[in-house]
Structure 1
Amino acid sequence: MFQSFEVTARPEQGPPRLSALRAELGVEGLDGFLVPRADAHQGEYVAAHDDRLAWLTGFTGSAGFCAVLRDVAGVFIDGRYRTQVKAQVAAEFTPVPWPEVSLGDWLKEQLPAGGTVGFDAWLHTPDQIAQAEETLKGTGITLRPCVNLVDHIWEDQPAPPMAAAKVHPLEFAGETHEEKRKRLALTLQEAGQKAAVITLPDSHNWLLNIRGADIARNPVAHGFALLHDDATVDLFMATAKLDGLEDHLGPEVRCHPPEAFLDMVQTLKAPVRVDKQTAPVIVADRLADAAVWGADPCALPKACKNAAEIRGSAQAHLRDGAALCELLAWLDAQPAGSVTETQVVGQLEAARRKDNALQDISFETIAGTGPNGAIMHYRVTEETDSRLEEGQLIVLDSGGQYLDGTTDITRTLAIGTPPAEAKAAFTRVLAGMIAMSRLRWPVGLAGCHIEAIGRMPLWLAGQDFDHGLGHGVGAYLSVHEGPQRLSRISQVPLQAGMILSNEPGYYREGAFGIRIENLLVVRTAPALAGGDDHRAMLHWETLSFAPIDRRLIDVSLLDAEALDWLNSYHALVAEKIGPRVSPETKLWLDDATAPL
């Protein structure tokens, strides 16, 4: 079982906690303190023990940070959370649009006479601190490592997670950890590097073919690792987590308690590879001159899935698609106004849990109807739970963690007769999703080069959305996985085997939200029939199969090629999912996938 503990804070709890933190500023002689979302492993997801940002501010988004000064507390959030943050934080916290406003620029404005801002060196990367310090040059403002002030005042802070790790079977991993270690050690040897520091749990879990349960919805075991150029690994993980894994890990993986990590880091011979975007500042400080900047050696190999991982993911998506269709058929049979968001969430999770391979859902299910759908990462609570009323849309974004793969799929559904403006916007979102799904592109292009393809139909109507077009996805690992992304800021070339989401959207605050998402895998594109390909090309293979709501499609806004793609996709949905669902759902599916 995954650790299910989570931190929640009501807006009214924020002010007294903020006051207590400001009292600690005086004790430490500081003018401010940084409270990030991150933990010591620098992954996107954190355990309850490390969810300091949510505990202090009430903001539960997966990215952002708070800069607490003596008279102002800025909560830095990106475009995905501008609506959400308004409902979650008290007036004592000031939302700051980030990255449009950088930490350094904000501090210059708020501390014109200079000052000292503290930070926990475990919770920030060298890259983050260096960027801020560069902006602050000549201002008299300094950033200083210090003890974690939130931990000083968080009296009922949950204990660090200690869930047991387990072996990830070779039939799903597709490669032994010995083979992986040797393959990655060669990259160190070729670069003349003695070792590499690995702090991301999903990286060393992938490398060693283990999985864990330290993070809710993410099958990872917390720890640190050092990969050496002789293909051996020093793994720093609580002994209780590794009970029974001795034979699997073998003698070339030496296990140590986490407390020994920094001491061993200091003994490493130069040069040692450190990823300045993922390693904590304290690690780089301990390495000092022995450190050389370089990417996490696991990141790219992990992203490029092997045949077994792709095969497993494809099978997981078929079972997952069947579960989703059972939910969609049930929902269509319910009268408008008779069902709530929480009922939809419960019904969908129950459908998924009928599959014995399911370990957990892959993230908290998003089921936002009406105005709630405009909150991109909406999460229903007792206070916000709403009925699905006539004329509304519901955004249903969900996924599963299966032993053979991780899924993530979004469908936007009409409740009754949808408004004309919502129908038009939905069709533009769909046109963008289809355009990306049909794309062929030259080898060497990154997400930043092609992401606009999925936005163009919206742009032509003066519309857009404030999240990336797509993110990488793991193989029974994190549902958000780097380094690949479909984003205007991603410069990582796309390679065969990478799995990404394709999820354009549109959000009208106070009215409705729209998002359509499938997962795709990058494949080497076959030569065009009778064509004259003069360079190697890539294309997508779709993994997700579930109907797209035909009631929301304005066919007049789709060109012939897009309509052909949609009809062909729906034929595949009927073919692949039809045999997997109940007879009642099969009748619904036949209608939902009928050609337009």
Structure 2
Amino acid sequence: MRQTFDIKGGPQDGRAHLPLLRRELAAQGLDGLYVPHDDEYQNEYLPDANERLAWATGFTGSFGAAFVFTDKAVLFADGRYTLQAADQTDPALVDVEGIPDPGAFGWLAKQELKGKRVGYDPRLMSPNDVAALGAAAAKAGCELVAVAENPIDLAWKGRPPQPMEKVVPHAVKHAGAAHTDKLDAIGAQLKRDGAEAAVLTSPASLAWAFNIRGGDVSCTPLPLGRAILYTDGSAELFIDEAKTDGALRRHLGNTVTLRPLSQLEDGLASLSGKTVSLDPDVASAWFFDRLGAAGAKILRQRDPVALPRACKNAAEIKGTAAAHVRDGVALTRFLHWLDTEAQSGEVTEIDTVMKLEAFREDLGNLNDLSFPSISGAGPNGALPHYRVSTASNRKLARGSLFLIDSGGQYLDGTTDVTRTVPIGPPSEDMIRHYTLVLKGHIALAAVRFPAGTTGTHLDILARHALWQAGLDYQHGTGHGVGVYLGVHEGPHRIAKVWNAVPMTPGMIVSNEPGFYKAGEYGIRIENLQYVTPAENIPGGEIPMLGFECLTFAPLARGLIDVKLLSKDERKYVNEYHKRVWKLLSRKLDGEAKDWLKAACARI
């Protein structure tokens, strides 16, 4: 199994580790320490060695922060983790506060800490976050201190080693372009921007720019390292030597100098006097400090790889489409199983995760999951980011809804798909809510829009039917997705919050509106789609863009109230199911194929 269900951490970690941390704080002359969840690489999934927040407090959620002082500790976690934070911390040692209200910095600003020294690790924070922390510290009257060595790292006895998985070349047939061509194009853009070099701090940018992949992070094939790119297309790639071999050196060729990660600070110092591009949203304050000390002129701008990486080329789209068809076969077999054997009321959430993973494994080319599966039965499905554990595991009870959000990592593509299905006969409310979510999903799938349109402009389409019924959902509607890279990828997204990046041909984005009835059930329908020029609209005067669907697996026909759908919406469902049948039926046989035919019948 690639997914585990025993969540580590808990109150015992805080009881054992907070005294060790406080001893180290005293040794460094500190009265407190800010502990973010983020690691040095801004990873979504952290290597065990970088789970500092979990080590200090026992809280293992994927988003949070803490202040640890000599006399108390305060953990900040958002609404997704309210119950988990309470379960995993000792209330006698750790107070739990919310995000965004008050949030870590808001809380600090209201404290009386005159004369206190509060440490932070500049390797783990963006310069903007450091500035915000500094402003809060000033209001509290305390001194903010950048630590040279993280007190947690020094106090952590038996800390796991940093991952040292081999870095491997990623074939051009999957990447669609040689890394030398990519580096030349990035170098030319840097020159146009007035930069002489760029420092890449994002492992995803390294993976894409150099056509390499790694195994340092679960669910994402990332190599942890850094790079310096130059305007002539040459580059220095800083990777731990234990991860490299002759095949990697031959792949990189003469234009890329492979250097040990231990030489990174020397590499930054060599940029003295140069204009260097650096992204304040993904690079930590440490990079700004080091370049500033070296006398470099810092050009604050978006990572030059981010937009080219987001706009997939023809080979990346073709590979992703092929991966989705294979993945759709596994998902259809799973949905058939759900609709037959799993209707007993005795199947558990963990059973479903294991079954779906087995169907994906049967494909023979699954390299990893793209994220830990969200398997929510009944009220657990009402938690959008729920992760099943042995402690929370529920049965799929008859008369309930079941939500499964999952994906796979394949050499040619990354998948992410959500389906909601009934277990036993659904209620009228379940059907109505599902159909309203479906209407929003169709609106976002079928829209045509002019160049310059952002995801923020489009977000309302997915919510319109729900809003008219007095309903909504409290998460974004769509996130970017990489190609055998991160399942969550910027810089574009579809959400209420402002995003200035226009939807551009080649961008892959999810379409996942939902509805969550607290304590009862959750509904989400998610497909991946990519931006493409749209067919000419009769009578139209400007070129338009649209979305092409990548994900193919049947919808839950038993949850669709046809009376609530317009003629065009019914046509969309029928045309979508027609494509599902055409693409998947030839790869299925027996009962699963018969089931798919019925699932794709016209409504």
Partner of 2:166: 164
Partner of 2:200: 198
Query: CA 1:149 to 1:465, structure 2 compared with 1: closer, same or farther past 3 Å?
Result: farther
Paired with 1:456 and 1:339, the residues of 2 have a C-alpha distance of: 35
Q: Is residue 2:266 matched to residue 1:258?
A: no
Q: Is residue 2:539 matched to residue 1:553?
A: no
Partner of 2:108: 107
Identify which range, 338-347 or 495-504, moves more after superposition: 338-347
What is the CA distance between 1:292 and its match in structure 2? 1.8
Q: Is residue 2:239 matched to residue 1:232?
A: no
Paired with 1:141 and 1:558, the residues of 2 have a C-alpha distance of: 59
Paired with 1:272 and 1:77, the residues of 2 have a C-alpha distance of: 36
What is the CA distance between 1:374 and its match in structure 2? 1.9
Partner of 1:126: 127
Partner of 1:280: 284
Does the CA contact (< 8 Å) of 2:426 and 2:559 recur in 1? yes
Q: Secondary structure at the match of 2:122?
A: coil
- Which amino acid counterpart does residue 285 of structure 2 have in structure 1? V
Q: Is residue 2:313 matched to residue 1:306?
A: yes
What is the CA distance between 1:302 and its match in structure 2? 0.3
- CA deviations 1:75-124 (Å, max 9, x no partner) are 33345444554444443444433335343321112346463321111111
Query: CA 1:139 to 1:435, structure 2 compared with 1: closer, same or farther past 3 Å?
Result: same
Query: CA 1:239 to 1:495, structure 2 compared with 1: closer, same or farther past 3 Å?
Result: same
Does the CA contact (< 8 Å) of 1:2 and 1:213 recur in 2? no
What is the CA distance between 1:240 and its match in structure 2? 2.0
Equivalent pairs counted in the alignment come to 594
Please list, as runs of the form range in 1=range in 2, the aligned pairs for 1:382-461 lying within 5 A after superposition. Answer: 382-461=390-469
Q: Secondary structure at the match of 1:358?
A: coil
What is the CA distance between 1:495 and its match in structure 2? 0.7
Query: CA 1:4 to 1:588, structure 2 compared with 1: closer, same or farther past 3 Å?
Result: closer
Identify which range, 136-145 or 162-171, moves more after superposition: 136-145
Partner of 1:518: 527
Q: Secondary structure at the match of 2:434?
A: helix
Partner of 1:577: 584
The CA RMSD measured in Å over matched residues stands at 2.2
Does the CA contact (< 8 Å) of 1:393 and 1:414 recur in 2? yes
Does the CA contact (< 8 Å) of 2:34 and 2:67 recur in 1? yes
Percent of aligned positions with the same letter in both sequences?
Answer: 43
Q: Is residue 2:510 matched to residue 1:501?
A: yes
What is the CA distance between 1:125 and its match in structure 2? 1.1
Paired with 1:95 and 1:450, the residues of 2 have a C-alpha distance of: 36
Does the CA contact (< 8 Å) of 2:378 and 2:522 recur in 1? yes
Q: Is residue 2:358 matched to residue 1:350?
A: yes
Identify which range, 319-328 or 356-365, moves more after superposition: 356-365
Identify which range, 176-185 or 333-342, moves more after superposition: 333-342
Task: Find 2:251's aligned residue among 227, 231, 248.
Answer: 248
Does the CA contact (< 8 Å) of 1:105 and 1:136 recur in 2? no
Does the CA contact (< 8 Å) of 1:234 and 1:255 recur in 2? yes
Partner of 1:68: 68
Q: Secondary structure at the match of 1:308?
A: helix
What is the CA distance between 1:249 and its match in structure 2? 0.4
What is the CA distance between 1:524 and its match in structure 2? 1.4
What is the CA distance between 1:129 and its match in structure 2? 1.0
What is the CA distance between 1:473 and its match in structure 2? 0.4
Query: CA 1:372 to 1:172, structure 2 compared with 1: closer, same or farther past 3 Å?
Result: same
Q: Secondary structure at the match of 1:541?
A: strand
Q: Secondary structure at the match of 2:531?
A: strand
Q: Secondary structure at the match of 2:229?
A: strand
Does the CA contact (< 8 Å) of 1:83 and 1:375 recur in 2? no
Does the CA contact (< 8 Å) of 1:80 and 1:467 recur in 2? no
What is the CA distance between 1:287 and its match in structure 2? 0.6
Q: Is residue 2:539 matched to residue 1:539?
A: no
Query: CA 1:507 to 1:117, structure 2 compared with 1: closer, same or farther past 3 Å?
Result: farther
Paired with 1:508 and 1:14, the residues of 2 have a C-alpha distance of: 34
Identify which range, 331-340 or 161-170, moves more after superposition: 331-340
Query: CA 1:462 to 1:428, structure 2 compared with 1: closer, same or farther past 3 Å?
Result: same
Paired with 2:181 and 2:405, the residues of 1 have a C-alpha distance of: 36
Query: CA 1:426 to 1:32, structure 2 compared with 1: closer, same or farther past 3 Å?
Result: farther
Q: Is residue 2:575 matched to residue 1:568?
A: yes
Structure 2: gaps spanning 5 or more residues: none
Identify which range, 446-455 or 388-397, moves more after superposition: 446-455
Q: TM-score, normalised on structure 2?
A: 0.94
